[in-house]
Amino acid sequence: MSIAKSCALALAALALTSQPALAETQGECLSEAEVSSLVIYAVPHALRGVRNRCEANLAPDGFFATEGAQFSRRYAALADANWPNALSALTRMTEAGMGAAKGGLQLDQLPPEFVRPLFDEMIAQKIGQEVAVADCRRIERTAAALAPLEPEELGQVSAVVMSLVGVDKPKICTVN
């Protein structure tokens, strides 16, 4: 697993494989603030996906078993505050990937109480599918190393790292 993926474990859920890269024009790239909100929002669901995939391969006294729930709760406590930015970014990513003109899914037309649980499950499922069992312990060590960061710090670091390494799914807007 690359350093960028390790540093931004939750961001794997954002790389919806059916979406092409977003062009970097006004409104077609995600701001670092939006990426940060997405990361903060996604962490509890991403951790659930990792735990589901890796449960049999992790030590019973490891980070996920002993501190994972507390780590997840810190981020879940900020979910409501980060949801509007996360939804905005998700909506734009979906529109760019499927094309609203082609009859694509328009998240802003769906009731928020439907979209949010759908997104939560999508994150957990996508992470569960993408994690290689051989990487489970490394992911757990990465989570343990990132746990001391405040959620806002992890969100910001993830956004900057994604921008620096040139992640294009989603495309991150250039900061001048």
Stated pTM of the model: 0.78
Distances (CA, A) of 57 to 61, 65, 98, 103: 12, 12, 37, 42
Asked which of 79-88, 140-149, 159-168 is least confident by mean pLDDT, the reply is 159-168
More confident residue, 13 or 176: 176
Q: From the centroid of its chain, how far is CA 140?
A: 16
Question: Could you give the CA distance from residue 121 to residue 158 in angstroms, rounded to a whole number?
Answer: 21
Domain spans in the chain, listed from the N-terminal domain onward: 29-159
Question: Could you give the CA distance from residue 31 to residue 171 in angstroms, rounded to a whole number?
Answer: 9
pLDDT tens readout for residues 116-129 = 999 999 999 999 99
Give the confidence band of 28 by pLDDT, cuts at 50, 70, 90.
confident
pLDDT at 91: 79
Question: Could you give the CA distance from residue 91 to residue 22 in angstroms, rounded to a whole number?
Answer: 13
pLDDT tens readout for residues 39-61 = 999 999 999 999 999 999 999 99
Q: Exposed, middle or buried: residue 134 (CB in 10 Å: 0-12, 13-18, 19+)?
A: exposed
